[in-house]
Amino acid sequence: MTNVAILGASGSIGTQTLEVIETLPDVRVAGLTVHTNTKVLEAQVRKFHPDCVCVADEARAADFRVRVADTGVKVLSGPEGVEEIAALPQADIVVTAMVGIAGLRPTVRAIKAGKRIALANKETLVTAGPLVMALAKEYGAVILPVDSEHSAVFQCLQSRAGGEERVKQILLTASGGPFFGKTRAELAAVTRGQALRHPNWDMGAKITVDSATMMNKGLEVIEASHLFGVPVDDVHVVVHRQSVVHSMVAFSDNAVLAQMGVPDMKLPIQYALTYPDRRPMAGNELDLAAYGSLTFEPPDLDTFGCLRLAYHAGRVGGSLPCVLNAANEVCVDWFLQEKIGFLEIEQLVEQQMAAHAVLPHPTLLDILELDNEVRQRMRRADR
């Protein structure tokens, strides 16, 4: 029996992971965490009977303990509780599905516990990639990507019999989001509701807005660079509106391998849980004839400047990706509250990056302090 802990169990990845686990008789839930959504967590506790759960919002944890007292589940609270779930002795796999930099410390804790990490929190590698990958090597932790694009690259790389083939390029596909083909003038009037209507994927609000600005793809470029040990400029973005080809790898002999499937996160989730096995999965079979044609186009870096900013941050490295990520998280939150316009996300992120003196080799403490510093400085702008 494989025991799984899920950090961020009430979000899109967390709930889909539980749906996948329902179909796997040899996988059980050992631990769950949520930030505030105790209604969803209570239903999960009663259905999956985990050993231990955590409500990160301490004010809600006390009431939750009373509500589930009849189940016998251990209820933790606060950031320390999340980290305890990440290092549960009985957990074989830790699915890190928390949104934002909040997932960094728990992921590091899981790595130090030698866990197999099913990584769905891209900010962990964006902000602290060199540090995290070095820790994984030191503690023998295996990191398996859950993002559909990175899972696709990982699956393509499994073709290497003896590791002799050299990777020439990684080709990350992007749907282009809801505003592909728009001009900057048209983007100036974009509303919250329009940005949240993704054409292909059902995701949380923050990631959906990041997809609309193409910041999400920029973060994935930086993540791929660290995961697969290639320079940022060897990670290319290709706009593929159908979201059937999830990503590709070009090798030194110019052969290109692609991983394809319908837009469904359950496949990469299941692959991370059962690797190296491939288990049967019901439904969602790919019918290429039904699509008729697949298209590929270059991204518009002038219109979608967030992708350009992410490439710059990835090239410079050090502490700059942390600034990019922190500023973007604040801006997306403001946009969702309708405090700023769509194009202001890019503008304000660029301002924070331009004002930053880069630390070449930040420690974990440096990264966490810098993240807080950027957020505090932006909030003092009284938006």
Q: What is the token pair recorded at 352?
A: 């924070």
Q: Are 221 and 128 in contact (CB under 8 A)?
A: no
Q: pLDDT tens across 160-211, in order?
A: 655 556 899 999 999 988 899 999 999 999 999 999 887 766 677 888 999 9
Question: Rounded to whole angstroms, how far apart are CA atoms 16 and 206?
Answer: 17
Query: Could you read off the pLDDT tens digit of each residue along the chain, which spans 383 residues?
Result: 999 999 999 999 999 999 999 999 999 999 999 999 999 999 999 999 999 999 999 999 999 999 999 999 999 999 999 999 999 999 999 999 998 899 999 999 999 999 999 999 999 999 999 999 999 999 999 999 999 999 999 999 987 655 556 899 999 999 988 899 999 999 999 999 999 887 766 677 888 999 999 999 999 999 999 999 999 999 999 999 999 999 999 999 999 999 999 999 999 999 999 999 999 998 889 999 999 999 999 999 999 999 999 999 999 999 999 999 999 999 999 999 999 999 999 999 999 999 999 999 999 999 999 999 999 999 987 55
Q: Are 32 and 9 in contact (CB under 8 A)?
A: yes
Question: Rounded to whole angstroms, how far apart are CA atoms 117 and 296?
Answer: 32
Domains of the chain: 2-145 (3.40.50.720), 152-379 (1.10.1740.10)
List all residues 6 or more positions away from 251 whose beta carbon is below 8 Å from its beta carbon.
165, 166, 167, 168, 257
Question: Rounded to whole angstroms, how far apart are CA atoms 192 and 196?
Answer: 6
Q: What is the token pair recorded at 278?
A: 């491939």
